[in-house]
């Protein structure tokens, strides 16, 4: 009995020492956060600058963008507390927040922070009345054109509507050697994008978030889809290489098309002597409209905090630092050249001097521009795109495609 008592006492003593040791390690350990993000040097340098300024140690785990979503989903769905800062965008905010993976940021965000960004940007990062990300940059669909080709065709006014774009495209093909006036990125899974651009221009919207139902099978939706068919099949101004994604970008960079609808990375390529034949010829304008003046489609690139993070206060200190006007300007002027989400930085003279195509962004983001958000966004987008691409290629009736797409979506989302 005495031996049992001694052994029990030894176990209790060992557990006490271990607990005290752990408590000491926790209380005396330095503050730290772990970031899961893409590996561009600017983002890593920014994290190092934060660590130097605050004394909060930063562990930075690099992951490729193509693997980022799945890496985060695996960790978050498994209850991991490994990460304190992750990339959040419109559709991921909806997907992750609906499953309780993200920390609501409403109680953290200050009035000054709210006033620094477009309300639509915060709306794009919200779910069920709560905000789950703070905007860092915008990956915005914009309208680009070749000023030299426009001048050669005698065009003095950039098209302000989609119908004008069609007429301008025809004029360019009639008066210049350009075979196809327009290029864009239109793989099968991308067909939803130009459709949403047109639908919003007509005053419609793809989804009603209040009822969680699709709203694209409407007169506005029909007009939008038929216009895309007209651009390709009737007016014949769309470069067939648009269906091969990257090839469409190359066509514009080589001066073989006059207009390009796409993302802002085209600007860097357009000024690259090894990749571009349009240096000094690039023009930018608001996206075409119709009933509405303009509309766009953009990823609101943001950062958020996983719900399981054990370092939420330190994580939000990083968010405040990374989304400050000073850091947004550094980002805009750096090699990553993202469009800043901060409204003041968008108007900064130094930023606009280096990137004139930012001049239209402040106005563009006052109009609808968010990504489609749904926990099944990828499946729904792919399903709809498969129907719409057939119409654009003249293989299916627009009314039938809209009806079939709606039925398939309602089957996914009853």
Ranges in the chain, pLDDT < 70: 1-29, 245
Average pLDDT of the residues of the chain: 91
pLDDT of amino acid 394 = 97
Separation in Å, CA 277 to CA 156, 172, 249:
22, 18, 12
Domain ranges for the chain, please list them: 33-138+298-364, 142-297+373-412
| Cα angle, residue 217 at apex, residues 216 and 221 outer, rounded to 5° | 65
- Please tell me the class of the 142-297+373-412 domain: alpha beta
* The dihedral sign for the CA sequence 352, 358, 360, 365: negative
pLDDT of amino acid 337 = 83
Q: Give the span between the Cα atoms of 10 and 190, in whole angstroms.
A: 66
Long-range contacts of the stretch 210-219 (C-beta < 8 A, 24+): 212/413, 213/410, 213/413, 214/380, 214/406, 214/409, 214/410, 214/413, 216/384, 216/402, 216/405, 216/406, 217/402, 217/403, 217/405, 217/406
pLDDT of amino acid 383 = 96
The two domains 33-138+298-364 and 142-297+373-412 share their CATH topology (first three levels equal): yes
Residue 37 has phi, psi (to 5 degrees) of: -160, 170
Question: CB-side exposure of 350: number of CA atoms within 13 Å?
Answer: 9
Q: What is the pTM of this model?
A: 0.86
Residue 207 has which token pair? 């989804």
CATH superfamily of 33-138+298-364: Periplasmic binding protein-like II (3.40.190.10)
147: exposed, middle or buried (C-beta count within 10 Å: 0-12, 13-18, 19+)? Answer: middle
Work out the number of other CB atoms within 10 angstroms of the CB of residue 339.
26
pLDDT of amino acid 29 = 65
């Amino acid at each position: 009995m005495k031996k049992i008592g001694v052994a029990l006492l030894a176990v209790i003593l060992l557990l006490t020492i271990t607990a005290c040791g752990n408590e000491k390690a926790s209380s005396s350990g330095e503050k730290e956060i772990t970031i899961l993000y893409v590996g561009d040097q600017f983002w890593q340098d920014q994290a190092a600058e934060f660590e130097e300024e605050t004394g909060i140690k930063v562990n930075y785990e690099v992951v490729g963008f193509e693997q980022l979503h799945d890496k985060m989903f695996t960790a978050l769905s498994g209850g991991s507390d490994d990460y304190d800062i992750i990339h959040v965008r419109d559709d991921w905010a909806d997907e992750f927040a609906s499953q309780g993976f993200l920390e609501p940021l409403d109680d953290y965000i200050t009035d000054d922070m709210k006033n620094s960004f477009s309300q639509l940007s915060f709306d794009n990062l919200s779910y069920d009345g709560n905000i789950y990300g703070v905007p860092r940059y915008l990956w915005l669909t914009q309208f680009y054109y070749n000023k030299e080709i426009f001048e050669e065709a005698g065009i003095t006014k950039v098209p302000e509507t989609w119908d004008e774009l069609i007429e301008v495209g025809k004029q360019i093909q009639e008066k210049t050697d350009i075979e196809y006036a327009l290029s864009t990125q239109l793989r099968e899974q991308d067909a939803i994008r130009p459709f949403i651009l047109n639908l919003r221009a007509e005053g419609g919207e793809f989804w009603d978030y209040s009822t969680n139902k699709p709203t694209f099978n409407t007169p506005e939706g029909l007009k939008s889809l038929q216009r895309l068919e007209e651009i390709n099949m009737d007016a014949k101004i769309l470069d067939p290489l648009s269906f091969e994604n990257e090839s469409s970008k190359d066509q514009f960079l080589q001066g073989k098309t006059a207009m390009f609808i796409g993302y802002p990375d085209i600007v860097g390529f357009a000024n690259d002597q090894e990749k571009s034949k349009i240096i000094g010829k690039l023009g930018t304008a608001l996206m075409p409209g119709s009933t509405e003046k303009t509309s766009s489609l953009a990823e609101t690139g943001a950062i958020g905090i996983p719900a399981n993070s054990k370092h939420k206060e330190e994580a939000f200190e990083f968010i405040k630092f990374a989304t400050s006007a000073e850091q947004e300007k550094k980002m805009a002027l750096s090699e990553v050249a993202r469009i800043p989400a901060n409204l003041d930085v968008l108007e900064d003279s130094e930023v606009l001097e280096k990137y004139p195509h930012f001049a239209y962004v402040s106005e563009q983001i006052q109009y609808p521009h968010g990504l489609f958000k749904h926990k099944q966004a990828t499946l729904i987008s792919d399903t709809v795109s498969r129907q719409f691409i057939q119409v654009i290629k003249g293989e299916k009736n627009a009314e039938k495609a809209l009806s079939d797409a709606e039925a398939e979506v309602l089957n996914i989302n009853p």
